[in-house]
Amino acid sequence: MTDSLRVKPEAFKVACSSCNLRELCLPVGLGRNDLDRLDDLVATRKTVARGDTLFHSGDPFQSLYAVRTGFFKTCVSSEDGRDQVTGFQMAGELLGLDGISNDRHSCDAVALEDSQVCVIPYSQLEDLSREFTDLQHQFHKIMSREIVRDHGVMLLLGSMRAEERLAAFLLNLTQRLEARGFSASSLILRMTREEIGSYLGLKLETVSRTFSKFQEDGFLEVKQRHIRIVDQAGLQQLVNGANC
């Protein structure tokens, strides 16, 4: 092999400045100068096969990860083996923020399809964000946004009924997919009914039944993991308490 070929193919693309996710990811709002420095920081990628774990709860925390391609779930579990999916992450979203709190990850991150993440060494990110106000501010916004998202999930888990939960889930998913240039009305679920159920505080049978009901009611077409949204407004009405 020649020297030039020994360079990993990813090396050419590991650059936030030319990444097509830069408007969704950490670099949002950064200027040319900041971006160049960020490119130096985010120098490596990591491939995670479907079913594999990016990090486990308890692992020492070193880096944040930005999803480049693929799809992840994060889940926490209690001592007695209870398990809760805390989120699903897609391209441009950050993984690992939980680890900052005590230098260990406190949840598992599992790839639900073959995925690729950008590795962001955390201490270097702190260094760089001391230098660049915009980066610092953007990073804080991302953490804050995660907190706000979590509060929304609490609202869902604490006060919504099964149909409302699933409707809210689907609308959230399609909205994020749309922001990434995918269809807002047709999607393929990367997670099982059980994983959806865990996220929504429901059993997989309830998730399945609710999908069927949505189909009967004309909101969706459901064929296993293929979902087509027929009546988005109807789902939206469900989430707001139109039926109460």
Binding site for a copy of itself (CB under 8 A): 76-84, 86, 97-102, 106-107, 126, 129-131, 133, 136-137, 140-141, 143-148, 150-155, 157-160, 198-201, 240-242, 244
Residue 18 DSSP one-character state = G
- Work out what residue 80 binds among a copy of itself, DNA, none; the CB cut-off runs from 5 to 8 Å by kind: a copy of itself
Tell which one of 225, 228, 240, 241 touches DNA (CB under 7 A): 225
CB contact set of 152 (below 8 Å; sequence gap of 6+): none
Q: How far is CA 204 from CA 137, 191, 196, 210, in A?
A: 40, 12, 7, 10
Confirm if 174 and 184 have CB atoms less than 8 A apart.
Answer: yes
C-alpha span between 20 and 18 (Å, rounded): 6
Tokens of 97: 């923020």
Tokens of 196: 């959806």
Does 47 interact with DNA (rule: CB under 7 A)?
no
- Nearest CB to DNA, comparing residues 13 and 50: 50
**Residues 109-168, interacting with DNA (CB under 7 A):** 161-163
Partners of 60 in beta bridges: 104
C-alpha span between 120 and 41 (Å, rounded): 7
C-alpha span between 69 and 182 (Å, rounded): 13
- Work out what residue 203 binds among a copy of itself, DNA, none; the CB cut-off runs from 5 to 8 Å by kind: DNA
- Work out what residue 145 binds among DNA, a copy of itself, none; the CB cut-off runs from 5 to 8 Å by kind: a copy of itself
- Nearest CB to DNA, comparing residues 201 and 234: 201
- Work out what residue 179 binds among DNA, a copy of itself, none; the CB cut-off runs from 5 to 8 Å by kind: none
Per-residue x/- marks for DNA, 167-186, CB under 7 A?
Answer: --------------------
| Shortest distance (Å) from residue 203 CB to DNA | 4
Residue 131 DSSP one-character state = H
Q: Given the rule CB under 7 A, which residues bind DNA?
A: 161-163, 189, 192-194, 197, 201-209, 211-212, 222-225
